[in-house]
Amino acid sequence: MFIYGSDGVIVGEEYVDMLCKVGLVSFDDFMNFSGGKLIKRRGRKEVWQFEVDGRLFYLKRSISSLWDFLRALLRGGMLGFYGLRELRNIALLNALGFETAKPVAAGSRWRNGFVNEAFLITEAVDAVALDAFLRNEYAPPLTKEQIERKRNLLRHLAKFISRLHSLGLYHQDLFLHHLAVRGNEHNGYRFILLDLDRLTIAFYRRRAMIKDLAKLLLSSYDVPLSATDRWRFFLEYAKHSKIKPRDVKLIRQTWKKAMWVGKRDHKFRNAFKRMKDELTKSQHR
């Protein structure tokens, strides 16, 4: 249950006292907080990590102008974190049975009618980021048992993403590090969706699908996955036993988009190089 404050702050009832311990009460407190560790800053968007009573939390906040909104639309996309968008996305996914980080507090306000200030606090999930999990668990050489576990993981992942897309929902920033994973003793896996500020119910579903698949593809070149692993994932996602003629165009478009993203996102410069090398080798076969 959430408590709604007079200054636009929404706080989960169970977290009120905990946040008070670190001085987080009013809207300005959340926007000016610097009591933790700054882990990301990009323009006027920040992500802070802090701990209260042994529990870990993430505070995301941003300041966006009307020009930021317009510029995002002109690029053919949407502004990332703003308003209460991510809080609503979390509620939507939870209602549909998808796991997300648990929201703790949120708020949004317009200043002078032209500037949006927004924040969201979530509690850290008890799971491992998928890219880190793949590096830790499946670095070669692999035993036969590890190979089978990795294939099982990719089957579960493909079905998970396929279900999300079948509902018309697209993450739009679907790198492997925006998924967390939990395993269990029955060789099953549960996935948790993170960073949901760009989640959309897409009108142009194919374009949104390509964007999601392209970011998964690009980030897969930063972890120990083989070309065969990627083919297996795609077939499971498409619910096909073998590649069909209509799949070829989708695969080409996904590759093209992944290369475009990789060329512009310096975090993936190594993944981008591996993709280019693999493409060059395939063209000379």
Q: How many CB atoms lie within 10 A of CB 275?
A: 20
Show the domains of the chain with their CATH numbers.
Answer: 2-123 (3.30.200.20), 128-283 (1.10.510.10)
Whether the Cβ atoms of residue 98 and residue 164 lie closer than 8 Å to each other: yes
State the Cα–Cα distance between residues 140 and 152, nearest whole angstrom.
Answer: 17
Question: Looking at residue 28, what is its pLDDT?
Answer: 96
State the Cα–Cα distance between residues 209 and 222, nearest whole angstrom.
Answer: 21
Question: Looking at residue 82, what is its pLDDT?
Answer: 67
Over the stretch 121-139, which tens digit does the pLDDT of each residue have?
Answer: 999 999 999 999 999 999 9
**For 14, which DSSP code?**
G
Whether the Cβ atoms of residue 198 and residue 78 lie closer than 8 Å to each other: yes
State the Cα–Cα distance between residues 40 and 184, nearest whole angstrom.
Answer: 31
Where the chain has pLDDT below 50, the residues are: none
